[in-house]
Amino acid sequence: MCHPAPDQTASGDRPRLGSGQISGPAVLDTVAALVVHVGPIGAGNTAKPAKQVVVALNIAAVSDALVLAQKATLDPTTPTT
């Protein structure tokens, strides 16, 4: 399978990539198992940081929720249903 050159970094199965167990075209097939087209060439360079903003805000929200729970004397380790 021929792949066009990606315009954005990819992440995936780093242990297998680092050990040399994956090489050639299989590398892109492994790290790009899910390809989301977001626009023309270069659009990925905007989509990636935008996604990272959402990820960072989720981390901050969970952190604030845990602080709120602790200040309300709730046990954050108790599962809820």
Q: For 20-33, what is each residue's pLDDT tens digit? A: 665 556 666 666 66
Could you tell me which residue, 65 or 13, shows the higher pLDDT?
65
Q: Residue 13 is part of which domain span? A: 1-35
Same-domain status, 52 and 76: yes
Q: Which pLDDT tens digit goes with each residue over 7-16?
A: 445 455 566 6
Same-domain status, 22 and 52: no
Q: What is the pTM of this model?
A: 0.52
Same-domain status, 45 and 79: yes
Contact 3, 32 (CB under 8 A): yes
pLDDT at 42 over 50: yes
Q: What is the mean pLDDT of the chain?
A: 76
Residue 11 one-letter amino acid: S
pLDDT at 58 over 90: yes
Residue 35 one-letter amino acid: V
Give the pair of three-digit tokens for residue 25: 């075209």
Q: What are the catalytic residues? A: 48
Q: Please state the domain count of the chain.
A: 2
Same-domain status, 28 and 63: no
